[in-house]
Structure formats: C-alpha cells, structure tokens
Amino acid sequence: MATIDHSNLGSGEIHEPKGVFSASSNQVYVANGSGSGSWTYFPTGWGYYADASGAAQTFDSTPSVLQIDGAGPTTEESYLPPEIRGSGSLWDTTNNLITPISIGDSYDVRIDLPITATATSPSYLFWTLDIGGGASITNRVASGTLVIAKTAPFTLSIGIPIFSLSTFKTNGGQIFLSTDAGSVDVDEATIFISRNHAGGM
C-alpha cells in the first residue's frame, strides 16, 4: 500500500481522528508526547450560585459558614466544565461547600455579599476559606479582611484564586465570615466559581 502524507489526502480519503468512535460528546484529543494520546473533556467552565431572597444570615464575632442555597433566580450551571455538566456542581448547595472536580485543579472564585444591615458598629468583616470540613475553622488556606465603611445597604466582594490538592478534594471548601464587633446581615449572597486548569492535563 502506498504511503500518503495526510496533507495530500483527497476528500474521499480523509478520515475521522483516531478513537473518535469511542469519544464522548464535548471531548477533545490530547497528545501524550509519545506518538499517541487520549480523548478528554476540555477542562474549563464555570458555575454561578445565588442564595434565595429571604431571611438574612447574621454574622458576628464568632466565625460562621456562609450559606448559599442556589435557589436564587440568577443561579447558572449551563456552562459548567463539560465533564460534570448535567451530573455535578462546583458548589454544594446543601452543605455550602466549594467542590473541586480533581486534584491539581485551579479555580477563580468571586463571592458577593449584599450587606442589608449592621449592628453595634462593626468596622471589619473577616473571611476564611477552610478545607477542614468541620463546623469551625481547622484548616485555613486563605483569609482576608473587608472594611465596613458604609451605611447599609451595600455589597462587599471577595476574590480568591485557589488550587485543589487531596484535602480540598476530599473535604471541599467552606467560607467562614465574622466581624470584629457587632454584627452584619447578609441577604442573597452569590458565588462564582470558574475552573481554569484541570489537574490531569
């Protein structure tokens, strides 16, 4: 049989890529550098989760987990990473957890906190991303301070670039909030989670 370069194949000789018959929808072929490769999902995608309007969550000087039930009308999961689209989420709306897909992943996260009321003049709102999986902060991986310098209502935002290793993958990530004094009420909080790298690629 004659050997013909792919660049010289005619229209009747062109074939589908190797292994395409067994590839799932939305998968792409990734070379392994050794003359072969495999079909895998394109890794990127995002989800947006909004808490339903209702009773505000009050935070004081004792750290508490931010709750976002995903029942708000702007919640959007149509553009999740293809490998979990329709079968998984990036936010656990029952247990209030960031849920990474794989070890080695990285994500960009934005949390918006509509402050509807304050009491006893708090000056700061402290936030912590914890991957201990418990009811209190045990394994802090990121934290920060937001200045409360306005009269409610106003919105505070948190941006967190994160990566996932084994503990994060096992326990997920909780957002704890607390004040330096007094309290703040948060209603209709939202979280945006964008996967920008897959650990297996």
Q: Render 79-141 in DSSP notation, one character per residue.
A: TS-TTTTTT--SEETTTTEE--SSTT-EEEEEEEEEEEEEES---EEEEEEE-S-SSS--SEE
Per-residue pLDDT of the chain (201 residues; tens, 9 = 90+): 556 665 565 565 555 666 665 666 666 766 667 777 777 667 899 999 999 988 899 999 999 999 999 999 999 999 999 989 999 999 999 999 999 999 999 999 999 999 999 999 999 999 999 999 999 999 999 999 999 988 999 999 999 999 999 999 999 999 999 999 999 999 999 999 999 999 876
Spatial distance between the Cα atoms of 52 and 73, rounded to a whole number of angstroms: 7
What is the percent of the chain with per-residue pLDDT over 70, rounded to a whole number?
82
Q: Where in the chain is the domain with CATH 2.60.120.1120?
A: 45-197
Quote the tokens at residue 130. 């914890």
Indicate the pairing of strand 154-163 with strand 124-130: unpaired
What's the pLDDT score for residue 35? 72
Spatial distance between the Cα atoms of 23 and 38, rounded to a whole number of angstroms: 9
Residue 86 burial class via C-beta count within 10 angstroms: exposed 0-12, middle 13-18, buried 19 and up: exposed
Residue closest to 40 by CA, chosen among 107, 89, 102 = 102
Average pLDDT in the chain: 90
Residue closest to 38 by CA, chosen among 14, 22, 50 = 22
Measured in degrees and rounded to the nearest 5, phi and psi for residue 167 equal -65, -40
CATH superfamily entry for domain 45-197: Sf6-type phage tail needle knob (2.60.120.1120)
